[in-house]
Amino acid sequence: MAERTKTRRMTSFQKVLQRLAKDKMAVLCGIILLAFLLVAIFSSSLTPNDPNEVHPELRLAEPSFQYPLGNDQLGRCILSRLIAGTSTTLGNALAVLTGILVVGVPLGMYAGFKGGIVDNIIMRLVDVLCTFPSSLVALAVVGILGPGLTNIMLVLVTLWWAPLARMVRGEVLQIKEKEFVTAARCSGLSDTKIVFRHVLLNIVPPVVVYATLRVGAIIMHIAGFSFIGLGTQAPMSDWGVMLSDAREYLRFAPRMMLWPGLCIMIVAFSLNVFGEGLGEALKPGSKNLSRKEVQE
């Protein structure tokens, strides 16, 4: 039994991959993302120089053999900072994403599945949170608790689980009415089992798409706050910080701004295109896929 399930799932997964493979742009973006992810994971061994080592004598130096992208205003190696920045930038974004998923998915599922007063309370809370502009709240929190990455990340998690929860609830409401859920209920399965075995699997595709698209927004937000000096604090390297540092030297060392700007753009762009491609690939088959599984 277990064997067969596995092969079937594999085929469905392969179908998705096949569909995704047709979208050349999405594949390209997926590869780019993978490359960035690898750089982020192995950043500490990939940096050619110590990203935080200050060399005042190399201030704004041109690219050289030892420093391929040149040096910044404190003579630090730009390439090393860019690589170290990949891991902070992506790492922070993924941490926020995890937070959003951990809070948003269970609450959305609970609200959708239980309904009634619990649903009402959670959804009104969601409505309230959705009305807050995240940048404004982040500024207020920074004003009270002081600048720092943790505060910005907390704000993003606090506010951005809400739209996810709303989406998950919507999906759950639809799935709840499906025959296989009724069947499962008739066969005496407990609510917990139904939720974990049947409902959760079915909301994975839309959540994956949502998450991929959201990471781009998170990266932009964190970079934005780092840019105005409220996010990542020195000497930690971060693309937003690098952009901000480079701003003053735009007129005579524009290359300082070029690299972190390009990285942010490419990653955010790739995430969007890949996310949409993934959504497209998952869409038509997703319902069949789940039904088959449930019929087991």
Partner 1 sequence: MMKRKTSLKKTLTLLLALCMTAALLAGCGSSGSNSSTTPAAGSSDSQPASAPAAEPAAEKEVTIALYRDGSIDTLDAATYNGPHVIYKMIYEGFVEDGGNGKILPQLATSWDISEDGKTYTFHLREGVKFSDGTDFNADAVIFNLKRWMNNDRHASLTSYKAESFEALDEHTVQIVFAESTYSILTELTYPRPNRFLAPSCVKDNGEVMGEFQWPVGTGQWMVEEYVPDETLVLVPNPYYWGDEPALDRIIFKIIPSGEARVLALESGEVDIIGGELLGKITSAGYTIVESDGIFDLYSASEMCAHYMNFSQENELFQDVRVRQAVNYAIDNDTMATTLLTGIGQAAKGLYNAETVPYVTLQNSPGYAYDLEKAKSLIAEAGLTDSNGDGFLDKNGTNYDLKLVITTEEFPEWAEVAQFIQASLAQIGLKVSISTVDTNAYTEIQMTTLDYDLIFQRTSSASWVPHNDMTIMFTQLSVAQGRARVWYDETLVENIWKALRSVDETERQEYYDLVFGQINDEALLTPLYYPIVTWAVNPQVVSSFEIGVNNYAPVDWTTLDVAS
CA angle 237, 241, 243 (to 5 degrees): 120
Report if residue 73 touches partner 1, rule: CB under 8 A: yes
State the number of binding residues for partner 1 (CB under 8 A).
28
Report if residue 174 touches partner 1, rule: CB under 8 A: no
Q: How far apart are CA 27 and CA 44, in angstroms?
A: 27
Shortest CB 159 distance to partner 1, Å: 23
Residues 262-291, one symbol each (x = binds partner 1 by CB under 8 A, - = not), give -------x--xx--x--xx-----------
Q: Which is nearer to partner 1, 99 or 235 (by Cβ)?
A: 235
Output DSSP code: residue 63: P
Report if residue 147 touches partner 1, rule: CB under 8 A: yes
Nearest to 52 by CA among 75, 29, 32: 75
CB neighbour list of residue 59: distance below 8 Å, 6 or more residues apart: 71, 73, 74, 75
CB neighbour list of residue 22: distance below 8 Å, 6 or more residues apart: none
Among 21, 32, 52, 293, the residue binding partner 1 under the rule CB under 8 A is 52
Shortest CB 229 distance to partner 1, Å: 5
Of 40-48, 169-177, 231-239, 287-295: span binding partner 1 (CB under 8 A): 231-239
Q: Which is nearer to partner 1, 152 or 162 (by Cβ)?
A: 152
Q: Using alpha carbons, list the distances in angstroms from residue 242 to 52, 106, 257, 263.
A: 12, 37, 7, 11
Report if residue 106 touches partner 1, rule: CB under 8 A: no
**Residue 185 burial (10 A CB sphere; 0-12, 13-18, 19+):** middle
Q: Which residues bind partner 1 (CB under 8 A)?
A: 25, 52-54, 56-57, 59, 73-75, 146-147, 229, 233-235, 245, 247-249, 251-252, 269, 272-273, 276, 279-280
